[in-house]
Amino acid sequence: MTQTFDQPTAEFVSRMRRATLGLASHELAALVVSPGPDLRYLCGYDAIALERLTALILQADSAYLVVPELEVRAALASPVAELGIEVLTWGETDDPYRLVADLIPGGGKAGVEARMWAAKTFALGGAGLNVTTGERALAELRLRKSAYEINCLRKAGAAIDRVHEQVSGFLRIGRTERAIAADISAAIIATGHERVDFAIVASGPNGASPHHLASDRELVAGDLIVVDIGGTMPDGYCSDSTRTYCLGDPEPAARDAYEVLQVAQELAVRHVVPGISAEAIDAAARSVITAAGYGELFMHRTGHGIGLETHEEPYLVAGNATTLEPGMVFSVEPGIYLADQFGARIEDIVAVTETGWESFNLRPRNLIVVPT
């Protein structure tokens, strides 16, 4: 079932205008966008990804939505009709790829988004369309969040904070990671999310695997437990936050590593300011961890953008010289992972403001000790 989200029409109008104005700078005659976050971003239509072609075609002076006949009612129930987008339908014996190709005459380049199914991309090319990547054009649109999006992400951050507020109550000796993850998933829905995207519960040695998720391992006293959770709100925007818990008193090695991690994460957040590079935030966190002798135990980037997807641009990683600007939103989440022993991570979603930063996650960042 398709769903739309309550959003001012002016927001979509602005997005489509920016998309069409940017075509020339990317040497594109059109953008061709299939179901996914880019389509939802541009026109509010949260279409089902099917083998049948649905595509938004944006040109400098026109906009079309090509949909299979059985999906036309869902398309018209979205903001599409209010945006002046002409809806073109096709039947089971029609060739939708030729229909799209005929809408873009003259051999100009049509940029498709990165997540269009390969079969559809090849079919568009086979129909005569001059297909190229539209990834940069679309990524640049979504890179800086509007005031509406900032508010959506702020609400998502507050909702996932309310879940972390409950986590200590789920952690007890003898409980499995899987059972705890189930409790957390229920809490994610109960706090206003529409969908659970992930519920990582990584205890003891499992914490050394950053994307462990959850298993049947039972918690024991002294475990560090990495809890990385996130979901999607009804408006389509995502939450993502990590806190590290300890069941009883931590071992000295774990306590010492966590203290370093906390300093590194705080320093990285405080480096966020307009004009600094994405890689400089990564370097700030990494410098503290490396100086303390844990450099090789921090093996992932410091952060990722977030919006209609949990992972999107900008990425905080060495080699990314992207200049941070107001409206960019991303995670700051350094970690330390000691194989076969423990792991620890702290993650906040942070927005670049006109003068610095705002964190959307406000739960305590210290190691959270749960009495046994």
Which domains does the chain show, CATH number per domain? 9-142 (3.40.350.10), 147-370 (3.90.230.10)
DSSP calls for 287-356: HHHHHTT-GGG--S-SEEE-SSSSSEEEEESTT--PBP-TT-EEEE--EEEETTTEEEE-BEEEEE-SSS
* Confidence bin at 105 (pLDDT 50/70/90): confident
Residue pLDDT, tens place only, 144-181: 999 999 999 999 999 999 999 999 999 999 999 999 99
Residue pLDDT, tens place only, 188-220: 999 999 999 999 999 999 999 999 999 999 999
Residue pLDDT, tens place only, 225-246: 999 999 999 999 999 999 999 9
Q: Is the predicted pLDDT of residue 4 greater than 50, yes or no?
A: no
Torsion angle of C-alpha atoms 254, 260, 265, 267, degrees rounded to 10: 170
Q: Is the predicted pLDDT of residue 52 greater than 60, yes or no?
A: yes
What's CA 196's distance to the chain center, in Å?
A: 13
Residue 8 has a pLDDT of 81
* Confidence bin at 6 (pLDDT 50/70/90): low
| Cβ neighbours for 346, distance < 8 A, ≥ 6 positions apart | 242, 243, 244, 261, 262, 265, 333, 334, 335, 365
Q: Is the predicted pLDDT of residue 2 greater than 90, yes or no?
A: no
Residue 87 has a pLDDT of 97
Q: Which residue type does 357 have?
A: W
Residue 305 has a pLDDT of 98
Query: How many helices and strands (H and E) does the chain possess?
Result: 10, 17
Q: What percent of the chain has pLDDT over 90?
A: 96
Q: What is the pTM of this model?
A: 0.95
